[in-house]
Amino acid sequence: MTRSYRSQVLYVNLSDESSKVESLPEDIFFYLLGGKGLGIYLLAHQPPKIDPFSRENQLIFVTGPLTGTIAPTAGRFGVVTKSPATNGFLDSYCGGFLGPEIKRAGYDAIIFQGKAESPVVVNINNDNIEFLKGDTWISKSPAQCDKMGKEKFGPRARVASIGIAGEKLGNFAGIFSDQRCAGRGGAGAVMGSKNLKAMIIQGTLPVEIYNPEQFRKDAWIARRYIRSSELTVRALPEEGTCNIVDIANISGILPTRNFQTSVFNEADKINGSAWRTNYWKNQIACFGCPIGCSKISYSKRTPTIIIDGPDYETVFALGSNVGNANQDIIIEANALCDEYGIDTISTGNVIGFVMELVQRGLATSSDFDGIPIKWGEPNTILELIKKIGTQEGCGELLAQGVAQITKKFPRSEIFAMHVKGLEIPGYEPRATKGMGLNYAISDRGACHLHSYCVSVEIFSNKGGMDPFLTDDRKVRLVYDCQAESNLIDSMILCMFAFFGMRMKEAFQMLSSATGLFKDEDDEMVLQSIADRIVTMTRLFNLREGWTLEDDTLPPRFLNEPLPSGPAMGQTLGKAELESMKKEYFKLMGWDEKGAPLKKTIEKLKINQF
């Protein structure tokens, strides 16, 4: 019986330019689905405590059992590796059109191992693996790589590539494809460390389905749910993710000036309607997506600068967080990040941190090659990004992220906004405390996507939960949202689809696509898959050296009351956080230090594979 997964992994060894295909146990897809689940399974097989930039670290491209099917938003792929930013597990996902090509080429995952002597581009066409010299590709931007790949291998070829920042091992360099990006945690640096400039892929094999007739029905139902929710029919199509700028600001969760406050006086200059009215020229959608949250904008100041974006995270990071309400500058800053191939969230955090260093007199412009450092100043923002991207001058340090920069500036730790080396996304945790717990315990550092509970704490139109609550109900919410996120990233679908469809519809699609699941007990089966993936990732991170003490938040969140807005006076104090962690560990079946209990490992059958 054909099924929507292939049980096949392509191993590409860059050291000797060899490749091989290996089969996966079928169990994997029942127990871990694919995507993140498959990724942690594969990553756990590499030796412990290796340097993320060593030959032993694997760069794993993963798909899920729904990738490339007609399931809505089934065009994404994931990248899994050990992160140079956190020294722990990293998964990062990217939309566009490349995911389905991996599946059509015959694979559930592609693993790059070893390291090429000199820059290389790997072209994959079904079982034909070609190693090309990368010399002419070096220093090219991801957009240029996309174009070169298509020119050389035809319009259906899809390209995943890195920019200069990845080549130079910047800690927050991403992997780009179709102008989109697996941005967080430095997967692009790992790719750069392997001298792999780009992967090009296309496939011609069909994506099989277990029960095609039922699956068509199930996918249609999921799509109808998406077509019936305000967020997915109107808000995201019309205003992209920037539809939340207003409500974030009203609710006091919009990080401003390196998280010094969470209300930005000029939010209405960068809200959804400001973008829709003044800048957005076009809407684009990823493979199989009925939503289309992506917008095309260009700078009015410099009309040749055109980007896919900006999204909410970029608007916060390169807008409010650096005191900037100039839309042209947000677009130009975003364009520079895309050109060099760096994550906008971490970039905006680094710039905000530099600005606060100077504000507090801990550094001066001379520490940054003479660039004038001032909140909201266009040149500060744009010039610092150039430094970070190219690692010239002060950029060598800045490109390593906030955690590393603190080492040069004593007493700066108290406003260094990162968890375990990953910078903070655009949700102030003192005003949405579920997100605080989430940042503290997420398996890739300060990640908003590990448990997107802010959607219930702040953005829910009904049935929300008080954002200041920190009791067991809130922990349960974080736990439930964590399950949802981990399942979505393992299927792999887009989180936004789940503002319309529910897990129930996803389960039906999984069931008819794979033939692995029965109708009954869907919730229990899915919950245990989520628990399994999160626990396996926890075990990996503990093995790599993470400790209970790392599960914390920047001192600012713990100690500094918010100075204004509806959450004025709020912190997320140490005691509150510890009590939430304790309850969370209990729900997970982990001990008081956050180590999974033996009986939990047994119950989740983690030792079986």
State yes or no: cis peptide before 290, omega within 30 of 0.
no
Q: Hey, is 61 helix, strand or coil?
A: strand
Residues 123-182 that bind a second copy (CB under 8 A): none
Structure tokens at 112: 């790059």
Q: Pattern 247-266, binding to a second copy, x per CB under 8 A?
A: x--x----------------
- Residue closer to a second copy (CB basis): 9 or 274: 274
Phi and psi at 22, nearest 5°, equal -125, 150
Q: Which span sits near a second copy by CB under 8 A: 11-19, 131-139, 226-234, 308-316?
A: 226-234
Structure tokens at 312: 């909410």
End-to-end CA distance of the chain: 23
Looking at 45, 49, 462, 518, which residue binds a second copy (CB under 8 A)?
A: 462
Contacts of 70 (CB under 8 A, 6+ apart): 215, 216, 219, 288
Closest CA to 89 of 77, 99, 97, 78: 78
- Residue closer to a second copy (CB basis): 303 or 463: 463
CB atoms < 10 A from the CB of 116, how many? 21
With contact defined as beta carbons under 8 Å apart, do 590 and 603 qualify?
Answer: no
- Tell me: does residue 459 bind a second copy (CB under 8 A): yes
- Residue closer to a second copy (CB basis): 361 or 463: 463
* Sign, CA torsion 178/179/183/187: positive
- Residue closer to a second copy (CB basis): 316 or 590: 316
CB atoms < 10 A from the CB of 234, how many? 11
Q: What is the dihedral of CA 284, 286, 291, 293, to 10 degrees?
A: -50
**Least distance CB 576 / a second copy (angstroms):** 19
Residues 191-210 that bind a second copy (CB under 8 A): none
- Tell me: does residue 224 bind a second copy (CB under 8 A): yes
Helix residue ranges per DSSP H, 372-499: 378-390, 395-398, 402-405, 433-441, 454-457, 472-491
Contacts of 600 (CB under 8 A, 6+ apart): 531, 535, 588, 589, 590
- Residue closer to a second copy (CB basis): 83 or 455: 455
- Tell me: does residue 228 bind a second copy (CB under 8 A): yes
**Least distance CB 374 / a second copy (angstroms):** 30
- Residue closer to a second copy (CB basis): 60 or 449: 449
**Least distance CB 469 / a second copy (angstroms):** 11
Which residue has 């910078």 as its token pair?
A: 423
Looking at 146, 178, 246, 356, which residue binds a second copy (CB under 8 A)?
A: 246
**Least distance CB 228 / a second copy (angstroms):** 4
- Tell me: does residue 93 bind a second copy (CB under 8 A): no
- Tell me: does residue 568 bind a second copy (CB under 8 A): no
* Sign, CA torsion 43/552/446/438: positive
**Least distance CB 462 / a second copy (angstroms):** 4
Residues 481-500 that bind a second copy (CB under 8 A): 499-500
Count of residues binding a second copy (CB under 8 A)?
29
CA 49 remoteness from chain centre? 23
Q: Which span sits near a second copy by CB under 8 A: 131-139, 232-240, 253-261, 353-361?
A: 232-240
**Least distance CB 465 / a second copy (angstroms):** 6
- Write out the residues near a second copy by the rule CB under 8 A: 221, 224-225, 227-231, 234-235, 238, 243, 246-247, 250, 455-456, 459-465, 477, 499-500, 502, 566
